[in-house]
């Protein structure tokens, strides 16, 4: 029973996909806000609980609304194993978990508006009579909003609630948010391409089904090109504002070299290359921001360890970044090498 209850929340489906990119925004805002670590953690805990509740609500509502379509496609739907009363209780419980922590978070008009919009979109996306999921164009945009952009914006307004950024910093944040939105577009397109056969059996009309896989891949390549462009712009802009942020460049290059060369993660198809961009948001960005925070306050090393433990499925890459960090900043030979350039 417990396994079934955990299964309906589909924690393994979104834990490493949704959480780390959102945490990256929280860590970035902490760099600029410079609050003490105690206050940051006191904000981080209820925020994470709310994210868990919100994501759980979205997946439960989606499974409930997809029971008939999944049956036609021959897909397993965990919601079909529960009675309507139990499903109603799970929906109510997830909403309580999502909303409850907001009593302990800094309430701003923008943050509340964004959170409300996210809940509304998660509901309208799946449930009739709206069921935006059946809309060829709106389904792609709405999915990108509630899965990627809105959570990032909520984190930005919560952890930067008392930050008064200058115009240059506003540009940095805007470029990053556009990258997150493009990430959402890329991922929903990849999902529709991978699920094209099931969607056809279910009678769902998606962008991929209407315009074909070839056209969809062309749109996908455009999204990826734009996403890369904005990410490069973000890195270049932020490197002028944060000392040592340049470390993200060698980390990123070496990370992907090792991943492509590894027999365990070597790409097997074009789709794998498109998915590789997710690693930047999920692995590299949050870890690099945590390292920058550890330079400000060594206690953030504890938070780094907690982060690695919680997302242990990618431990090997985190340990590699730890090694690189040590070599770059604490190795005596590396220090002597950099002294030559100072002279």
Q: What is the pLDDT of residues 17-41, one digit of tens each?
A: 889 999 999 999 999 987 788 999 9
Of the pLDDT bands very low, low, confident and very high (cuts 50, 70, 90), residue 222 is: very high
* Average pLDDT in the chain: 84
When pLDDT is averaged across residues 123-127 and rounded to a whole number, the result is: 90
Question: What was the pLDDT predicted at 280?
Answer: 92
- List, for residues 2-17, the tens digit of each pLDDT value: 455 556 666 767 788 8
Q: Which residues contact 204 (CB under 8 A, 6 or more apart)?
A: 69, 133, 134
Domain count, the chain: 1
Q: Which residues contact 294 (CB under 8 A, 6 or more apart)?
A: 300, 301, 304
Whole-number Å distance between alpha carbons of 127 and 143: 14
DSSP 225-267: HHHHHHHHHHHHHHHTTSTTGGGHHHHHHHHHHHHHH-TTT--
Question: What was the pLDDT predicted at 320?
Answer: 63
Decide: 126 and 62 in contact? Cβ < 8 Å.
Answer: yes
| Range from 56-60, 162-166, 195-199, 336-340 carrying the lowest mean pLDDT | 336-340
Question: What was the pLDDT predicted at 87?
Answer: 83
When pLDDT is averaged across residues 314-324 and rounded to a whole number, the result is: 58
Look at 303 and 162; give whichever has higher pLDDT: 303
3-state SS class at 301: helix
Question: What was the pLDDT predicted at 330?
Answer: 59
Question: What was the pLDDT predicted at 152?
Answer: 97
Of the pLDDT bands very low, low, confident and very high (cuts 50, 70, 90), residue 170 is: very high
Burial class (CB in 10 A: 0-12, 13-18, 19+), 187: buried
Q: Which residue has the tokens 């805002």?
A: 29
Whole-number Å distance between alpha carbons of 54 and 151: 10
Look at 341 and 174; give whichever has higher pLDDT: 174
Of 291, 281, 282, 299, nearest in space to 327 by CA: 291
Model confidence, pTM:
0.87
- pLDDT above 60: residue 339: no
- pLDDT above 70: residue 195: yes
Whole-number Å distance between alpha carbons of 231 and 162: 26
Percent of the chain with pLDDT over 70: 82
- pLDDT above 50: residue 247: yes
When pLDDT is averaged across residues 264-286 and rounded to a whole number, the result is: 80
Of 10, 16, 61, 17, nearest in space to 184 by CA: 17
Angle between helices 150-159 and 109-126 (to 10 degrees): 160
Look at 101 and 78; give whichever has higher pLDDT: 101
Question: What was the pLDDT predicted at 48?
Answer: 95
Question: What was the pLDDT predicted at 21?
Answer: 95
- What domain range includes position 287? 2-342
Of the pLDDT bands very low, low, confident and very high (cuts 50, 70, 90), residue 342 is: very low
- pLDDT above 90: residue 161: no
């Amino acid at each position: 029973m417990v396994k079934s209850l955990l299964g309906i929340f589909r924690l393994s489906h979104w834990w490493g996909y949704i959480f780390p990119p959102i945490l990256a925004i929280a860590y970035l805002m902490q760099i600029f806000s410079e609050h003490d670590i105690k206050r940051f953690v006191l904000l981080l805990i209820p925020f994470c609980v709310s994210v868990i509740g919100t994501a759980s609500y979205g997946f439960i509502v989606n499974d409930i609304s997809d029971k008939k379509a999944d049956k036609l496609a021959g897909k397993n739907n965990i919601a079909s194993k529960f009675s309507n009363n139990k499903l109603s209780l799970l929906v109510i419980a997830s909403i309580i978990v999502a909303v409850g922590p907001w009593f302990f978070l800094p309430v701003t008009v923008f943050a509340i508006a964004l959170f409300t919009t996210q809940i509304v979109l998660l509901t309208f996306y799946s449930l009739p009579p709206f069921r935006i999921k059946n809309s060829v164009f709106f389904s792609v945009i709405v999915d990108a909003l509630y899965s990627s952009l809105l959570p990032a914006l909520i984190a930005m307004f919560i952890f930067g609630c008392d930050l008064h950024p200058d115009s240059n910093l506003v540009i940095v944040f805007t470029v990053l948010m556009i990258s997150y939105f493009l990430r959402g577009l890329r991922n929903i397109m990849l999902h529709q391409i991978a699920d094209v056969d099931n969607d056809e059996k279910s009678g769902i009309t998606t962008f991929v089904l209407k315009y074909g896989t070839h056209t969809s891949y062309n749109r996908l390549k455009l999204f990826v090109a734009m996403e890369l462009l904005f990410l490069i712009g973000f890195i270049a802009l932020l490197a002028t504002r944060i000392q040592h942020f340049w470390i993200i460049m060698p980390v990123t290059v070496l990370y992907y070299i090792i991943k492509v060369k590894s027999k365990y993660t070597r790409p097997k198809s074009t789709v794998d290359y498109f998915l590789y961009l997710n690693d930047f948001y999920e692995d590299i960005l949050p870890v690099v921001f945590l390292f920058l925070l550890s330079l400000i306050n060594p206690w953030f090393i504890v938070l780094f360890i907690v982060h690695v433990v919680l997302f242990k499925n990618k431990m090997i890459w985190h340990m590699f970044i730890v090694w690189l960090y040590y070599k770059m900043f604490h190795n005596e030979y590396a220090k002597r090498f950099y002294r030559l350039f100072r002279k």
